Amino acid sequence: MPPFERHVFVCHNVRPADAPRPSCTTDGQSPLHARLSQLTREAGLTGRVRINKSGCLDQCEHGPTVVVYPDAVWYGGVKPEDADEIVAEHLIAGRPVERLRIADSCLNAKTCPHRS
């Protein structure tokens, strides 16, 4: 079997309600992961694209986070209803969804305006 063309990591990290940083999921379940997996299968991308559950991706301030490798495209504030666009535009057409991208200047930056 050839290697996967892309790996999509979906944050599943759960933090206590009173934690200083938000969680990407509240209960370790992810309708987003489920939707991405379903759409990937339906698009015939099984074996080419792998949808992975991830621990913390350290982008908590950006909301539920998804990263696509090897493209190194980071998405923030992703909702299950965004999955259709990510699959159609990014995973099939090769065009990242700009409206969901986390700005490079915010990735792992101590001065990002989203960090508390």
User: Which domain does 75 fall in, by range?
Assistant: 6-106
What's the CATH code of the domain at 36? 3.40.30.10
Instruction: Name the residue with higher pLDDT: 51 or 23.
Output: 51
High-pLDDT (> 70) share of the chain, %: 92
Of 69-73, 75-79, 102-106, which range is least confident? 102-106
Confidence class of residue 105 from pLDDT cuts 50, 70 and 90?
confident
Confidence class of residue 114 from pLDDT cuts 50, 70 and 90?
low
Residue 50, domain member (yes or no): yes
C-alpha neighbours within 13 Å on the C-beta side of residue 7: 9
Confidence class of residue 87 from pLDDT cuts 50, 70 and 90?
very high
Residue 112, domain member (yes or no): no
Q: Where are the alpha helices (DSSP H) in 1-116?
A: 31-42, 83-85
